[in-house]
């Protein structure tokens, strides 16, 4: 299948950037589980299990919790809140939480309490024009963000250098900082040129089949900082 081929290319890109890939067993009864980002937030020295906004996705957190618990201390968002990892943008020690149809203000408050001992500060921002915060803005590095300013207000990110997506590619604001290179969807060449013009190396891979299920570059992995 095309989606499987694109996912294999995604895994290969991580490995080419010298990331060790830990693959979890397939869960055919949970078809969205490939979008593992929504199930957890990984910080320096701590993993936080989310409570996805879509109820059918909540069982996905079980296997992710078990895998992360072998590597890091693990805590959880409570059953009274909702949080998708796609709404959580970590930039250095700052965490932006998108208040969207999938993530609630109470979850942002819980995340602030859970992450504060690790030195993180949380800021909640409204998301109305797209599914998740990281549909509209992602980190290229700790100083630079890739943004679609038609979907999220750029003044919310005044402390950062902003690279605007090409207007022909509104869905091109999602990328993954792999350290040595930026992972970005091959469907957005005009935006890729802007990232490269700013001095960043980019590896473009096909993600268009995954995008049909509202997936993007950040969706298919949880990056664990080296301890």
- Point out the residues that are catalytic: 132, 219
Q: Which two tokens stand for residue 137?
A: 């803005």
Exposed/middle/buried for residue 203 (C-beta within 10 Å: 0-12, 13-18, 19+):
buried
Q: How many CB atoms lie within 10 A of CB 167?
A: 10
Q: How many CB atoms lie within 10 A of CB 65?
A: 15
Strand ranges of the sheet holding 88-91, from the earlier edge strand across to the other edge = 88-91, 94-99, 121-126
Strand pairing class (74-76; 161-164) = unpaired
Query: Could you tell me if 224 and 72 are in contact, meaning their C-beta atoms sit under 8 angstroms apart?
Result: yes
CA-nearest of 84, 80, 22 to 49 is 84
Query: Could you tell me if 96 and 89 are in contact, meaning their C-beta atoms sit under 8 angstroms apart?
Result: yes
Query: Could you tell me if 202 and 194 are in contact, meaning their C-beta atoms sit under 8 angstroms apart?
Result: no
């Amino acid at each position: 299948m095309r989606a499987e081929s694109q996912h294999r290319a995604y895994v290969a890109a991580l490995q080419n950037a010298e990331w060790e890939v830990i693959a979890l067993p397939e869960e055919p009864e949970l078809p969205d589980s490939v979008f593992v980002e929504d199930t957890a937030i990984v910080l320096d020295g701590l993993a936080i299990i989310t409570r996805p906004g879509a109820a059918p996705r909540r069982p996905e957190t079980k296997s992710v919790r078990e895998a992360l618990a072998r590597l890091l201390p693990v805590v959880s968002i409570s059953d009274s809140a909702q949080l998708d990892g796609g709404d959580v943008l970590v930039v250095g020690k700052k965490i932006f939480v998108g208040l969207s149809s999938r993530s609630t203000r109470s979850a942002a408050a819980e995340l602030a309490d859970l992450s504060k001992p690790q030195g993180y500060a949380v800021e909640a921002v409204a998301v109305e024009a797209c599914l998740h915060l990281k549909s509209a803005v992602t980190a290229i590095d700790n100083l630079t963000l890739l943004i679609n300013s038609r979907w999220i207000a750029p003044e919310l990110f005044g402390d950062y250098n902003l690279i605007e997506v090409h207007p022909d590619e509104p869905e091109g604001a999602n990328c993954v900082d792999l350290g040595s290179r930026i992972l970005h969807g091959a469907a957005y060449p005009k935006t890729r040129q802007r990232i490269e013009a700013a001095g960043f190396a980019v590896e473009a891979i096909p993600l268009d089949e995954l995008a049909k299920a509202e997936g993007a570059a950040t969706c298919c992995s949880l990056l664990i900082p080296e301890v």
